[in-house]
Structure 1
């Protein structure tokens, strides 16, 4: 009886172990399926969002263009942001989420193309994202301010915001930065909103005189507003750390063949101007990632 019980426990342990293993699709299996599973953030305009019941955004269109060049169609996996990007990569690229067992994306969009992030270690000196390959930078992003010229004459530096209410997304880099710069003298002027879109809407409604967010968000919001009184501020951010960064894609480390294929098609789309034209359709200025600027 003890031997039988031990045998059953061993079988159960093996079954549970197999249940925890999430299969990463090999490149040939992806091609044979005709489908590329792409993870991207939900409700994140102008990058990825739903409008009139259809997926839209520059990341959505770029993913479709890349997949089409490989003879594939895109299946979207919408990402609800977890506490950190490391969590998002774990949930969608190399382990999966307990609420979505056995579901992984083939590739994830809008991942920092940054060596320091890629080789980040935990307290034991282990690579946090050891099972992830980050590749294919396709956009250079920056911070950007905007203002209403009926209430602010010009915004040549964020120092002007010491005298004007400014709306920012709660717990965002602009929030932390503006609360601390100039010895915290702007902090009393900060108004916090759940999203960058809500902060921009507050500026349009006259609740605040200016706002600050990612350049892509500000460009798109200005494009959609079509209000000549809403203007771009000059990007003068004293004592700010990283003001520009590159964004790319990520795959499981076992799927480098997919990364090479996507990277090759991406380079063609960038060099032919297709990516710049895609961004322009959403009113976004396009800046080449540093990888291409160096060439």
Structure 2
């Protein structure tokens, strides 16, 4: 349940196609705090360096991105956090947080204000969807450090689709593998209230309702796929690849009409600490250039697409 709504802000942020307006024109920003006490805006870059560590907020129980195994932080975002810390000459200290109703709520709780009871802000938060309209709405946080592209994909059982090709083409599609139209008749698992759930429900209509099975997490949907309870699963590519295993293939077919099928991931810092934001961006840019970010994905057997920065 903690992971359910990490991407929901994208629905509002990307719902309207690009228009010939100046950036932020017509976008109403959120609340801007006044006279905020120092303890609620975090530490400056100099203070972070002086104390010797940086606190980085990551989502809990969220493989392959961030999780704990025997109290040891694991995942792609953990690697990104360590890259940032090394560039600053400090240690990385990870704060595992729950996903709220929206990304805006998460940024408020973990980046620019802190939770109402016992909360504090972290220096950096990772796995934040990067979008121009979203940036305009949330002026209290600076979005920076784009480090990867994510996209929606489909995992499927080889046994359920024996005629599917063995290898994907150059676009990531596997010939004769399932696409959304198949799920008018074939069973597909999705994370409940996810963008895949919304897309299939709105695209296929009520007639396909019985074939769309909802699960609390992508992990649970992938487990159902391995157990033969569904024929396919639709969700973020990296999560599907991580949970694939024997007898399951993953492909990225074209998804006409799905404006949210691809997005960029980055970092967020408090708007008072833009120098920290620049340092984070420089660290990630260097790691993209020399292949360290791609290696984080490769180490987990995942494909990697560099963001358009």
Please give the range of the TM-score, normalised by the shorter of the 2 chains. Answer: 0.7 to 0.9
Structure 2: distance between partners of 1:84 and 1:72: 31
Alpha-carbon shift at residue 156 of structure 1 (Å): 4.5
Alpha-carbon shift at residue 52 of structure 1 (Å): 2.8
Q: Which residue of 2 aligns with 1:160?
A: 182
Please state if 1:210 is matched with 2:238: no
Kindly report the root-mean-square deviation, in angstroms, between the aligned alpha carbons of the 2 structures.
Answer: 1.7
Q: Look up the SS of the partner of 1:254 in the other structure.
A: coil
Q: Look up the SS of the partner of 1:167 in the other structure.
A: strand
When Rg is computed on C-alpha atoms for both structures, the one with the higher figure is: 1
Please state if 1:187 is matched with 2:203: no
Render the CA deviation track for 1:124-157: whole Å, top value 9, x for unaligned.
Answer: xxxxx22110011000000010110111244242
Alpha-carbon shift at residue 21 of structure 1 (Å): 5.6
Query: Which of residues 244, 251, 268 in structure 1 aligns to 2:269?
Result: 251
Query: Which of residues 186, 191, 197 in structure 2 aligns to 1:175?
Result: 197
Q: Which residue of 1 aligns with 2:66?
A: 48
Structure 2: distance between partners of 1:48 and 1:142: 18
Render the CA deviation track for 1:192-233: whole Å, top value 9, x for unaligned.
Answer: 1110000000010011111011011011112xx2x0x21113
Please state if 1:132 is matched with 2:153: no
Q: Which residue of 2 aligns with 1:78?
A: 96
Alpha-carbon shift at residue 243 of structure 1 (Å): 1.6
Structure 1: distance between partners of 2:212 and 2:240: 18
Q: Residue 41 of structure 2 contacts residue 270 of structure 2 at CA under 8 Å; is this kept in 1? A: no
Structure 1: distance between partners of 2:252 and 2:100: 32
Q: Which residue of 2 aligns with 1:242?
A: 260
Alpha-carbon shift at residue 184 of structure 1 (Å): 4.2
Q: Which residue of 1 aligns with 2:160?
A: 151
Alpha-carbon shift at residue 23 of structure 1 (Å): 4.3
Please state if 1:197 is matched with 2:219: yes
Q: Which residue of 2 aligns with 1:34?
A: 52
Please state if 1:106 is matched with 2:128: no
Query: Which of residues 103, 106, 114 in structure 2 aligns to 1:88?
Result: 106
Alpha-carbon shift at residue 104 of structure 1 (Å): 1.4
Structure 1: distance between partners of 2:62 and 2:269: 21
Alpha-carbon shift at residue 263 of structure 1 (Å): 1.1
Structure 2: distance between partners of 1:172 and 1:159: 18
Q: Residue 195 of structure 2 contacts residue 260 of structure 2 at CA under 8 Å; is this kept in 1? A: no
- Cα distance change on mapping 1:89 and 1:287 into 2, 3 Å: same
Q: Residue 154 of structure 2 contacts residue 178 of structure 2 at CA under 8 Å; is this kept in 1? A: no
Q: Residue 46 of structure 1 contacts residue 216 of structure 1 at CA under 8 Å; is this kept in 2? A: yes
Greater fraction helix = 1
Query: Which of residues 299, 302, 306 in structure 2 aligns to 1:281?
Result: 299
Task: Give the structure-2-normalised TM-score.
Answer: 0.81
Q: Which residue of 2 aligns with 1:4?
A: none
Structure 2: distance between partners of 1:18 and 1:205: 52
Q: Residue 180 of structure 1 contacts residue 186 of structure 1 at CA under 8 Å; is this kept in 2? A: no
Which ranges of structure 1 fall in alignment gaps of 5 or more residues? Answer: 1-16, 121-128
Task: Give the structure-1-normalised TM-score.
Answer: 0.84
Q: Which residue of 1 aligns with 2:150?
A: 141
Query: Which of residues 98, 104, 118 in structure 1 aligns to 2:135?
Result: 118
Q: Look up the SS of the partner of 2:284 in the other structure.
A: helix
- Cα distance change on mapping 1:201 and 1:231 into 2, 3 Å: same
- Cα distance change on mapping 1:89 and 1:234 into 2, 3 Å: closer
Aligned length: 262
